[in-house]
A and B are shown apart, each in its own frame.
Chain A
Amino acid sequence: MELHMELPVTAEKADSLHAGDFVYLSGQMYVARDAAHKRLMELIEKNEKLPIDLKDCTIYYMGPSPAREGRPIGSAGPTTASRMDKYAPTLIDLGEKAMVGKGKRTREVLDAVVRNHAVYFAAIGGAGALLSKCIKKSEIIAYEDLGAEAIRLITVEDFPVIVVADDHGNNLYATAQAEYRKK
């Protein structure tokens, strides 16, 4: 199914999604990858205030190339999500509702998605130039010292993603490959 969805993704909206749905997202999402996740976890462990609001948030696993003058962002495709698997279940339990990345997740992440009515979307890996066109605004809101790994808040319009893991327990990577597997 092809559909348009306004951010934030709530539990109710996540429930309506199914693995294989092609979704165009519009609204605001955070951008964070390895180093930023590590810092967020350190704050959580110390019970300190986070620089982002996790409630119903969407986090895009991405580290852009530098923006040319007059453009909001450079090339901006997804990075491999499995490197965030260590951190994601905790963030989802604390309110994160949607992740955008690419690649397989661990059982722990998939369980956290089901338990919390969340969703894991894939964006097309290696399509950074195309995806940058859907990003209308971008600002660094934390950890500027991390450069490409800083936390950003971006505004997207019709940003194309595919539901990979839904909160009904489906995982598109497993089912889609089986459908075309000949050996």
Chain B
Amino acid sequence: MVREVDVSEITKNIREMCISVNYELSDDMKKVLSSAKQSEKSPLGSQILGQLQKNLDIAKNDRIPICQDTGMAVIFLDIGQDVHLTGGSLEDAVNQGVREGYTDGFLRKSVVSDPIIRKNTNDNTPAIIHERIVPGDKVRIKVAPKGFGSENMSQIFMLKPAQGIDGVKEAILKAVNDAGPNACPPMVVGVGIGGNFEKCAEMAKEALTREAGVHSDIAWVSDLEKEMLSEVNKLGIGPAGLGGTVTALAVNINTYATHIAGLPVAVNICCHVNRHIVREI
């Protein structure tokens, strides 16, 4: 049975999601930030984490973005194969939602139309859109705006299979240590292991949208997430990079099959303003 969904529904939802995700963090992120304040050993670090919580309160109450870098809009769409999209182009509908959200929500327009000519599009479009066709008759929309202070500190490593799990650990620690204060710690670290060049990067990005504190279903991956969070926090970078015991709030890892000759690892760093919101229509 085919279900019809008018793309204007997608526009309307994306508009609202862009606005709300920039004013208020999800509960999982609030929770890990609050427990970070309890565990941070550095007095200055703890003071900074307190200010970040105050920042969240002001953003929510005054309806002002948590961070001025309201990001480039990253949209994941899981489209049920029994859905028939009507009313126009899906891509146009997504970008219209971003356009309306960023304009009506007083969000910063940070997108330039060409990487060299660099003229601002003035409406934060186009978005980065990842579409997947999945079983079912629903459309699942995930909106995850990403700032570039942390995006710029992300890295891809094309490791050799012989480097194994130790190589993966070194890569994660290197990316976090190189990022240091630039990525607005405490960070969330999204990691993709396996696939190929572009697949591991996309997995790292999507790993950031997993709830902080929820671990992988795969036993070795879950263990690695916990171990790497502990190792990253030994680096001493701390809140705002001014020293401390909380450098990351979560390490989320996604994996995929890969080629006999390769071990790709992507590390997508996100700041403490790790924005993600999901709706199903």
- Indicate whether A and B interact: yes
- Residue-wise, chain B 220-238 has the 8 Å CB interface mask toward A (1 for contact) of 0000000000010011111
Q: Does A127 contact B (CB under 8 A)?
A: yes
Q: Does the CB pair A66–B55 fall under 8 Å?
A: no
Q: How many residues of A contact B (CB 8 A)?
A: 47
Inter-chain contacts of A177 with B (CB < 8 A): 180, 235-238, 241, 243
Q: Does the CB pair B180–A129 fall under 8 Å?
A: no
Q: Does B69 contact A (CB under 8 A)?
A: yes
- Residue-wise, chain B 116-127 has the 8 Å CB interface mask toward A (1 for contact) of 001010100000
Inter-chain contacts of A128 with B (CB < 8 A): 55, 59, 64-69
Q: How far does the Cβ of B248 sit from chain A's closest Cβ, in whole Å?
A: 13
Q: Does A10 contact B (CB under 8 A)?
A: no
Binds A, one of B79-87, B101-109, B191-199, B203-211: B101-109
Inter-chain contacts of B55 with A (CB < 8 A): 124, 126-130
Interface SS majority for chain B: loop
Q: Does A97 contact B (CB under 8 A)?
A: no
In chain A, positions 39-84 with a C-beta closer than 8 Å to chain B are: 62-68, 71, 74-77, 79-80, 82
Which residue of the partner chain, among A79, A122, A179, A183, contacts B149 with CB atoms under 8 Å? A79
Inter-chain contacts of A99 with B (CB < 8 A): none
Binds A, one of B46-54, B136-144, B253-261: B46-54
Q: How far is the CA of A79 from the CA of B68 in the complex (A)?
A: 9
Interface centre among B107, B122, B243 (most CB of A within 10 A): B243
Q: Does the CB pair A129–B64 fall under 8 Å?
A: yes
Q: Does A169 contact B (CB under 8 A)?
A: no
Instruction: Write the residues of chain B forming the contact surface with A, with a CB cutoff of 8 angstroms.
Output: 41-42, 44, 48, 51-52, 54-56, 58-59, 62-70, 106-110, 118, 120, 122, 149, 152, 180-182, 184, 231, 234-238, 240-245, 271-273
